[in-house]
Structure 1
Amino acid sequence: MEPFRLIIGPDDNATALQLSARAVILFAFGVLCIRIAGRRTFAQYAPLDIVVALIACSNISRVMTGKAAFFPALSATLVLVILHRLLGHATLHWGLLSWLVKARPIKIIEDGEVDDEALRRAELSREDMLEAIRLEQVENPEDVAAASVEGSGKVSVVPKNTR
């Protein structure tokens, strides 16, 4: 343990070279955590995923700058990432847990009709909704068969068949 401590330095007074060594080690640790957590954690941006990502990044940042003890902070981060992964697997098997943890989609357009109440529930302005459908290459809500605000916050759009 002493040779490793020499490389990373003390938690309260590390040199620039030791902080650089921490950065390299933490980069590798971060990649390992992402691999353990799976691509869902950092790709879909569901609320739970964002919270886990923020906490993990915050912990790693504090370790790199010497504001937190190296091994205890890495242990806590790894526990958090593994817990997140286990929770993700558990939601596949238990519907009630999935319902509690995951956000549900909100249908905002059906057969060209905009549901203003659904827009309010999704906290989406009409201008934001119009932008979202334009990003899917649809100009007007009347040309949309269905559109929903997904659990990740992204708006999915199914255009009407124009043939």
Structure 2
Amino acid sequence: MSWLTALVGPDDGSAATWQFCVRALLLLPYGILCIRIAGRRTFSNLTPLDIFVAIVVGSNISRTMTGRAPFLPTLAATLLLVVLHRMLAMATVHSNLLARFIKGRPVELVRDGKIDRAALRSNHLSDDDLIEALRMEQTVRVEDVALATFERGGKISVVPKSKAREA
């Protein structure tokens, strides 16, 4: 292991410039590997677990890059976290209870043009948030909405009445 310390420098932040460059060369593919293991969904519609893993992975790689954390133990712990994330994501496919705990559940905000104000309040959404989401989906009036749902990933999806009739 002395060869690794010679290559990446000490873990006290006093590595030479070229050693920090070696860390960067090693951490770039490592970070890509972690993202590939975690899967695309980690960075698309983020669930609380996805956000947590993304923050911790970024933080760990940053601390490893700057020499503020031990190189190999931090990489091992980060990889373990990413593998656990992947296993939990796969387990949620088979367990609705686990999926609800990790991902949450979708909440109907509008049905047949009627706003569920209690659902808005319980999700800390204002009328302006809802109207913005409608505009983002090219819908102007709440009355024109068959269904608007606050999805598990934090996005509001909208089904206009015209499209609901087509289905």
How far, CA to CA, are the matches of 2:45 and 2:31 in structure 1?
18
Count of residues in correspondence between the two structures: 163
Q: CA deviation at 1:46?
A: 0.9
1:7 has 2:33 as partner? no
1:47 has 2:48 as partner? yes
* Percentage identity across paired residues of the two chains: 52
Q: CA deviation at 1:20?
A: 1.8
The TM-score with structure 2 as length reference comes to: 0.92
**Structure 1: where are the runs of 5+ without partners?**
none
> How is 1:1-163 mapped onto 2 (pairs within 5 angstroms)?
1-12=1-12, 13-161=14-162
How far, CA to CA, are the matches of 1:95 and 1:127 in structure 2?
32
**Structure 2: where are the runs of 5+ without partners?**
none
How far, CA to CA, are the matches of 1:130 and 1:24 in structure 2?
46
How far, CA to CA, are the matches of 1:103 and 1:152 in structure 2?
8
How far, CA to CA, are the matches of 1:114 and 1:20 in structure 2?
55
Most deviating of 148-157 and 96-105? 96-105
How far, CA to CA, are the matches of 2:47 and 2:101 in structure 1?
13
How far, CA to CA, are the matches of 2:53 and 2:83 in structure 1?
10
CA RMSD after TM alignment: 1.4
Q: CA deviation at 1:147?
A: 0.3
Q: CA deviation at 1:19?
A: 1.1
How far, CA to CA, are the matches of 2:115 and 2:131 in structure 1?
10
How far, CA to CA, are the matches of 1:26 and 1:143 in structure 2?
50
How far, CA to CA, are the matches of 2:91 and 2:116 in structure 1?
33
Residue identity matched to 1:151: R
How far, CA to CA, are the matches of 2:146 and 2:130 in structure 1?
14
Q: CA deviation at 1:4?
A: 3.2
How far, CA to CA, are the matches of 1:89 and 1:53 in structure 2?
17
Q: Indicate if the aligned counterparts of 2:27 and 2:61 stay in contact, CA closer than 8 A.
A: yes
Detail structure 1 runs of 4+ shifted over 3 Å in the superposition: 1-4
